[in-house]
Amino acid sequence: MENYLKKNFEVEAKNPSEEALRRWRNAVRVVKNPRRRFRMVADLAKRAEAETKRKKIQEKLRVALFVQKAALHFIDAGTRVEYKLSQHVLEAGYGIEPDELESIARSDKKALEEHGGVEGLAREVSVSLKDGIASSEIANRQNIYGINKYAEKHSKGFFMFFWDAFHDLTLVILMICAAVSMGVGIATEGWPDGLYDGLGIILSIFLVVMVTAFSDYKQSLQFKALDKEKKNIIVQVTRDGFRQKISIYDLVVGDVVHLSIGDQVPADGVLISGYNLTIDESSLSGEPEPVHVNQQRPFLLSGTKVQDGSGKMLVTAVGMRTEWGRLMVTLSEGGEDETPLQVKLNGVATIIGKIGLAFAVMTFLVLTARFLVEKAFHDDIKHWSSDDALKLLNYFAIAVTIIVVAVPEGLPLAVTLSLAFAMKKLMNDKALVRHLSACETMGSSSCICTDKTGTLTTNHMVVNRIWICNETKIIKRDENEKSLKSSISEVVYNILLQSIFQNTGSEVVKGKDGKPNILGSPTERAILEYGLLLGGDYKIHRQESAIVKVEPFNSVKKKMSVLVSLPDNGGFRAFCKGASEIVLKMCDKIVNADGEVVPLSEDQRKNMTNVINSFASQALRTLCLAYKDIKDKSNVDGIPDNEYALIAVVGIKDPVRPGVKEAVKSCLAAGITVRMVTGDNIFTAKAIAEECGILTHDGLAIEGPDFRAKSPQQMQEIIPKLQVMARSSPTDKHTLVTQLRSVFHEVVAVTGDGTNDAPALHEADIGLAMGIAGTEVAKENADVIIMDDNFNTIVNVARWGRSVYINIQKFVQFQLTVNVVALTINFVSACITGSAPLTAVQLLWVNMIMDTLGALALATEPPNDALMKRPPVGRSENFITLTMWRNIIGQSIYQILVLGVLTFYGKHILGLSGSEATLTLNTFIFNTFVFCQVFNEINSRDMEKINIFRGIFDSWVFVLVMVVTVGFQIIIVELLGTFAETTPLNWKLWLASVVIGAVSLLVAVVLKWIPVETIEQSVKDKHHDGYEPLPRGPELA
């Protein structure tokens, strides 16, 4: 079976090939209800159609942007439309029509100038470029200019899911059989006695369809809520006079939006101001070349990404009035790729379905042959009555019902149910799963490459130490500026404040409460907070000098620089801050205690290196602040990279998050190797890694430049011991991930927050983007977004991923056992006695127990601590393990023996006699069979441990399903005998049914003593690839 599954039903978890997707679709043969079975499967035809539409829109946009760039004004002038203000726009207080405003971002600069530039547009949409819109105007603006949402297909209602569930071919055939049965029954037995058999089947079908539709509908609501959350982006705007964060859905025309590296442009707009703003328009136009947005080319289009720089824009069009809105409608077609487990279980369902179909045909042929032989034996072959027709119809109904039970249509859908449940729980636990497959893949992860800042640490940074004027000072929060001011000269004090407030990508704004609020990255906030503590004033220092050029911080350069013009025509001054060793190399001078710039001697440089290492070894993030005066006004094409004067070295404290050490220990015990990949100094990285329990005594810490200088062979030698990579670039992270996946065949999860982390996030098996510190580019390339940037949340995703995998295995074990027993009992009984002990109605109830209700009970169990004490599931491991086969075969043998004995010797054993003896025996067999499944469902909660009751009350869904199953079984046996062909049982027979079912618990205990782990281990050893295994497991913990 496994070889067949691997050949036909194997797809990659991430970016599967179209060939693999088509291969498994072609291999699926026995499908009862394609509409339901393939509901969560990508529609490849629709996807291809959507791709064609997308390319057409991109081509149209590419031409429009080319015209705009080439400034072909005469073309635009010839086709420009005259707009007249409508009454409702005038009454709303605006001076421009929505259609005209929408066209501006796709027009040329001349069209913008006709409206008086960005200031004129701001007047026409009644907004202050300084204070933004007033919150009270939002509803009015949405009414006139639209909302920032694109058109989506209406979600299906409950009736549509009910209708889909009714498209099961076998259920339709059964309904026809039931209708014929009722017609013949009424004709022969009269009203209402002839009605009951057929009506029982119809009511059972209706119940099955109702429960199935309700389960599917609940899943769809969960996915809809998650989908809305996935598309939600937090945008920074100025409203009511202060900066604030809002949802992209709340953005309106007239909003002043702040953009920085990695942001997605949330709507069409016009640039107000900016520095080095570079936009990647490839997602919209398909053009890979970045576009520089400035006052000459001020237009910004929704859906594009900020590649570099920063800026402010005025929103001119939102939602479906943007090209991105129209493009997104096509992108939503076709659906998401199916997960590897969904595909694999489609394969399992196909194999079982073929076997079930064969058994059903054989059962019908055997029953019919016996019936015909009996008629021939009694010389009655030429005489046919309505009773004979009903018998044959009943045989056919039983055969069809066997197909209903035997084809496990719910297997692939159980994966969806389990994933929906896990994704909802993870959302509550601050993890947003963007791709379904990531949830199950995370359960197989064997390596996590994690960032340090904000993930292992709290991300609440404060300046803890500063080296300035040859002195190290410890910063205390209760001290004011006088303590530092008194120890350094006025010149040094002023230059320090200038370097803090002039060279920053953050902003100090007034909050709603009137207090200063610092917006920006945690490192920037810490430095600005320190500047305010020193008595500095953000606005005053920013107004002292005009900013000429800005080079924002990025993870490659590891520094930020700014060029400002000094007042009174005093030339220019460049400020630089960043990674200590990088900025120190750029310095050849130092600011002394008197504020004079003096040459930096070799001894001083060594001393500075010792100071930096001293700070770093205390787990402090170190930054150097430096400046350079430029007298030559003609040479200001770029910001210089050398001959700076060192002002200070700052040590920033970022404490380790509570619980991280325990989480790392949990990972190691689970066989998951944790590696820290950070841009920080190696001493800082090692100190934090040791504190977290990542770096062990025999582990290796290396710097990015050293790692990238290694040959592939050397990398293979060091990677098994590599635990910390410091001063790493995004390229180093990508190289490490590639090596781990391709050479060591690891399932790798990697965290990232910056735009440059996108390739590593895309390459990894599971890309984890940070929700707080992460850019929109990083989030878009990730599979899971960690909303609280917490390593504990990453471990929780791994726990839930393992839970999904093991829950599906439990459900498969349970369902296969029911299949084997139901098929065998009905077939053997048909062959020997000429009748099936389980009727169509009873089999439909059994089908609901093992399908929808079984999936609800077993596929939604929450994770337990034991899951993180076993090694991860490898890429090539069999889904149906030897342990599962042991349990399936053992339980099946017990149930078949018990039910077989009851079928042939039940009357004698139970002492049954009289006209009701056969009906009572069949009812007892049916009741015993159901209780065997109830207790087997409890057995399936743990495939290896003997105590299967541990944590049973933690899963209220499981308990509820058990109660509903037993309760409805009592109702069927005691009250619905007319429809279900049962008769009430006495207390002794009820007790006997429960006891026989409960014995399966003891059978499970015996089975679990049969060892299979040694066989499985020898299979794994046989497929070892020869590389040194990566260190992991409880011994590391």
Active site residues: 451
Closest CA to 500 of 356, 627, 350: 627
Q: In angstroms, how far is CA 576 from the centroid of its own chain?
A: 39
H/E element holding 279?
Answer: strand 268-280
Strands (E), 83-154: none
Q: How far is CA 681 from CA 2, 237, 453, 725, in A?
A: 48, 34, 12, 10
What residues have CB less than 8 Å from 939, skipping those under 6 apart?
887, 891, 948, 1000, 1001, 1004
Rounded Cα gap, residues 678 and 697, in angstroms: 20
Q: How far is CA 614 from CA 195, 684, 723, in A?
A: 90, 9, 22
By DSSP bridging, strand 305-317 and strand 268-280 are: antiparallel
By DSSP bridging, strand 766-770 and strand 748-752 are: parallel
Neighbours of 194 (CB within 10 A): 20
Q: How far is CA 752 from CA 769, 786, 909, in A?
A: 5, 10, 68
Q: In angstroms, how far is CA 427 from the centroid of its own chain?
A: 9
What residues have CB less than 8 Å from 69, skipping those under 6 apart?
291, 297
DSSP alpha helix (H) spans, 407-505: 410-428, 436-442, 481-485, 490-502
Rounded Cα gap, residues 876 and 878, in angstroms: 7
Neighbours of 385 (CB within 10 A): 10
- Burial class for 256, CB neighbours closer than 10 Å (0-12, 13-18, 19+): buried
- Burial class for 471, CB neighbours closer than 10 Å (0-12, 13-18, 19+): exposed
Rounded Cα gap, residues 1035 and 671, in angstroms: 10
Rounded Cα gap, residues 259 and 873, in angstroms: 42
Closest CA to 468 of 446, 483, 453: 483
What residues have CB less than 8 Å from 487, skipping those under 6 apart?
469, 471, 473
- Burial class for 91, CB neighbours closer than 10 Å (0-12, 13-18, 19+): exposed
Q: Which residue has the tokens 């504990």?
A: 792
Q: For residue 122, give both structure tokens.
A: 């701001």
Rounded Cα gap, residues 788 and 772, in angstroms: 6
Torsion of CA 838, 839, 841, 845, to 10 degrees: 10
Give the DSSP per-residue string, 516-574: EEEES-HHHHHHHHHHHHTT--HHHHHHHSEEEEEE---TTT-EEEEEEEPTTT--EEE
Q: Which residue has the tokens 């582990």?
A: 699
Partners of 313 in the beta sheet? 257, 271
CA atoms within 13 A on the CB side of 1: 17
Q: For residue 145, give both structure tokens.
A: 């200019």
Closest CA to 254 of 310, 302, 299, 313: 313
Contact predicate 73/108, CB 8 Å: yes
